[in-house]
Amino acid sequence: MLRYVLRRLLTAIPTLFVIVTISFFLMRVAPGGPFNQEKGLNPVIKANLERAFGLDLPLWKQYFVYLGNLLRGDFGPSYNLPDFTVAELFAAGLPISLQLGTAALVLSLVIGCAMGIYAALRQNSWIDYLVTAVATAGSTIPTFVIAPVYQIIFGLLLRWAPVGGWGDGTFANKIGPVITLALPFLAIFARLMRGSMIEALHTHHIRTARALGLSDYSIIVRHALRGALLPVVSYAGPAAAALLTGSIIVESIFQIPGVGRYFVDAALNRDYTLVMGTVVVIAIFTIAFNLIVDLLYAVLDPRVRYE
């Protein structure tokens, strides 16, 4: 197992290298730059800014300078927020995104899996049809529809929660973004769990367990659930990376100062370093959670071995 983990960590290095390289040159290929303004900037001032940030260097040299800084853990300064470095912006925004993402992930996993299991145990009943309908609706309605509806109903009409903003990170400020983030993933987890649980309950070893007179609790929890969780775990890896690194749409609508909102502002303002830093952080989270998913496979399924 340890050897497998080390191999995966070693393969993550060239993967990150490819992601950084592609992202770096794609950002430069697009027309415009961080100091291009609609009204135009004085050419002398623009030249001085580009010289100060090293943007007057040849593209290949900019690339190697950025790689060298990145290897030292330096994401560079923000071009459009010159008083802050990218690392400082992440230090302020990433904990907020992690709080919202963790809460949304736990909520969607617990409720979604519970709904899926209950629907599978009541297959073809009205409960099963209801869960399937709710899960289908939840997975098709986009977050940019859910968020304004929540704001109108609970923020403007009922006045139970703020319309947006982070404030001091109180529960009232978090509940809207967490629910909006969780609903689509909750629906997908419910559908995945329902389908995999139905399949698991019809396998030969479950039939043998029933024939031996094992209790329903033992059959479902100790035998069927472990196999049924595999598709859910597979999807939970990239879902966790997406949730924990911030949702671009949700953080923008609710005006949450997380990583997702920084990514939107940086993309609009062509803030190269901030966009690149966000891409690197998301890539690291994705690689890490995919590794965790592979390790969980061996825990859930005894047939899986990484030797």
Q: What is the DSSP string of 98-166?
A: HHHHHHHHHHHHHHHHHHHHHHHHTTTSHHHHHHHHHHHHHHHS-HHHHHHHHIIIIIIIS-SS-SS--
d(CA 183, CA 178) in angstroms, rounded, equals 9
pLDDT averaged over every residue in the chain: 83
Provide mean pLDDT across the span 27-53.
70
Q: What is the pLDDT of residue 107?
A: 92
Q: What is the pLDDT of residue 84?
A: 83
106 pLDDT tier (thresholds 50, 70, 90) = very high
Q: What is the pLDDT of residue 306?
A: 59
1 pLDDT tier (thresholds 50, 70, 90) = low
**Whether the predicted pLDDT of 307 surpasses 90:** no
Out of 1.10.10.60, 1.10.3720.10, 3.40.50.280, 3.30.70.100, select the CATH number for domain 95-261+286-300. 1.10.3720.10
Q: CB under 8 Å to 118, separation ≥6 — which residues?
A: 127, 131
Q: What is the pLDDT of residue 238?
A: 83
**Whether the predicted pLDDT of 255 surpasses 70:** yes
Provide mean pLDDT across the span 175-186.
90
5 pLDDT tier (thresholds 50, 70, 90) = confident
d(CA 307, CA 298) in angstroms, rounded, equals 11
Which of 273, 276, 281, 275 has the alpha carbon at shortest distance from 263?
Answer: 275
Q: What is the pLDDT of residue 302?
A: 63
d(CA 13, CA 298) in angstroms, rounded, equals 24
Provide mean pLDDT across the span 217-245.
81
Residue 72, classified by CB atoms within 10 Å of its CB into exposed (0-12), middle (13-18) or buried (19+), is exposed
111 pLDDT tier (thresholds 50, 70, 90) = very high
Higher pLDDT, 55 or 99: 99
110 pLDDT tier (thresholds 50, 70, 90) = very high
**Whether the predicted pLDDT of 49 surpasses 80:** no
* Structure letter (DSSP) for residue 38: S
* Structure letter (DSSP) for residue 84: S
Provide mean pLDDT across the span 45-64.
79
**Whether the predicted pLDDT of 65 surpasses 80:** yes
> Whole-prediction pTM value?
0.82
Which of 190, 142, 181 has the alpha carbon at shortest distance from 260?
Answer: 181
- 3-state DSSP call for residue 80? coil
- The residue extents of the domains of the chain are 95-261+286-300
Q: What is the pLDDT of residue 55?
A: 75
Tens-digit pLDDT profile for residues 130-141: 888 888 888 888
Q: What is the pLDDT of residue 40?
A: 61
233 pLDDT tier (thresholds 50, 70, 90) = confident
Higher pLDDT, 291 or 111: 111
